[in-house]
Amino acid sequence: MNQQSGQVAVITGAASGIGRGLAEHAAKLGMRLVLADLDGVRLEALCAELRGGGAQVVACVTNVGDLEQVERLRDVALDRFGEVDLLFNNAGVMQTGYSWEITAQQWQRMLDVNLCGVINGIRCFVPLFLRQGRAAHVINTASLAGLLSSPLMAPYNVTKQAVVALSETLHYELSMLGAPVSVSVVCPGPVASEIMASNQVVDGAGSSFSQLLDSSIRQGMTPAELAEQVFAAIAEKRFWVFPHKGFKVALQQRVQSILEESNPQFNMSDVEENTHAAR
């Protein structure tokens, strides 16, 4: 998909981390922006900064886990700009801890934001793209956790692997229809962000793991570097977006374990070597 000045991009989770990097990059390209986040203060601050640079941008405080709020986000985009070209389903939160110690409320929060947020985005915007009848692109932020599981990250692993499966299914469905709508799934390793601030730490072994993960994330790829790779993939209509390449040996080992029906193995050094995910 050619990236042109004036295209309309809707970005969820835009106030920080990857979302902010995507918004800043899109603004540099001259795109018109509809930015969504639950943190209204930070969202408005970002929009004011981008407007100061000449960008056309509207803020829409949105809980992506609520379908009605995502419908409102779509309507805001249409009311302001009349069309949408790019949808970035990017909002996400983190939860660590032993699978059996994570509360029902914590599990539900992860499902609502990380998975239902993407589902709601697809339900609200894909019919619009099909009605528009021209090139458009859905970009879903998953994670290397969408391909590789690690201990103490069950809700994150589950939701991100579901996002990968949903993205692949959507790609097949749109291809089957011959629709001019492309799909990309972004599977990064650590990207410098504050996602761990959303982690409701469970006491026990998860605490030390969370500290290790937080340190890895804060030292990760910059959101600006990631955004550059994501927009390059959009231009190529590329489905798989792997900003971090070092995970492929671990992925090959996982596939081999499946083919051989052998028990999976986990090495904690994988986390330290950036083979596991976080946004």
Q: What pLDDT, on a 0 to 100 scale, did the predictor assign at position 134?
A: 98
Q: Is residue 172 annotated as part of the catalytic site, yes or no?
A: no
Residue type at position 261: E
Please give the average per-residue pLDDT across 118-124, as a whole number: 99
Please give the average per-residue pLDDT across 44-73, as a whole number: 98
Classify 235 as helix, strand or coil. Answer: helix
Q: In the β-sheet with 32-37, what is the strand arrangement from edge to edge?
A: 57-61, 32-37, 8-11, 86-89, 136-141, 181-186, 240-241
CATH of the domain at 72: 3.40.50.720
Among residues 125, 156, 209, 231, the one annotated as catalytic is 156
CA distance 186 to 59: 24
Q: What is the CA radius of gyration of the chain?
A: 18
Q: Is 252 a domain residue?
A: yes
Q: What is the mean pLDDT of the chain?
A: 92
Q: Is 2 a domain residue?
A: no
Range of the domain at 111: 8-272
Alpha helix stretches (DSSP H) within the chain: 17-28, 40-52, 67-81, 104-110, 117-132, 154-177, 205-218, 223-235, 248-260, 269-272
Assessment of whether the complete model's pTM goes beyond 0.85: yes
What are the C-alpha distances in Å from 36 to residues 70, 180, 185? Answer: 9, 25, 19
Q: Is 277 a domain residue?
A: no
Residue among 129, 130, 139 nearest 232 (CA): 139
Q: Is 279 a domain residue?
A: no
Q: Is 198 a domain residue?
A: yes
Q: Is 217 a domain residue?
A: yes
Q: Is 91 a domain residue?
A: yes
Return the higher-pLDDT residue of 268 and 150.
Answer: 150
Q: What pLDDT, on a 0 to 100 scale, did the predictor assign at position 219?
A: 75
Q: What pLDDT, on a 0 to 100 scale, did the predictor assign at position 194?
A: 80
The set of residues, in sequence order, having a beta carbon less than 8 Å from that of 106 and lying 6+ positions away, is: 95, 97, 155, 200
Q: CB burial class (10 A; 0-12, 13-18, 19+) of residue 212?
A: middle
Question: Tens digits of per-residue pLDDT, 179-196?
Answer: 999 999 999 999 998 888
Task: Decide: 118 and 174 in contact? Cβ < 8 Å.
Answer: no
Q: What pLDDT, on a 0 to 100 scale, did the predictor assign at position 193?
A: 84
Residue among 116, 254, 118 nearest 186 (CA): 118
Per the structure, the count of domains in the chain is: 1
Please give the average per-residue pLDDT across 108-134, as a whole number: 98
Q: What pLDDT, on a 0 to 100 scale, did the predictor assign at position 133?
A: 98
Q: Is 3 a domain residue?
A: no
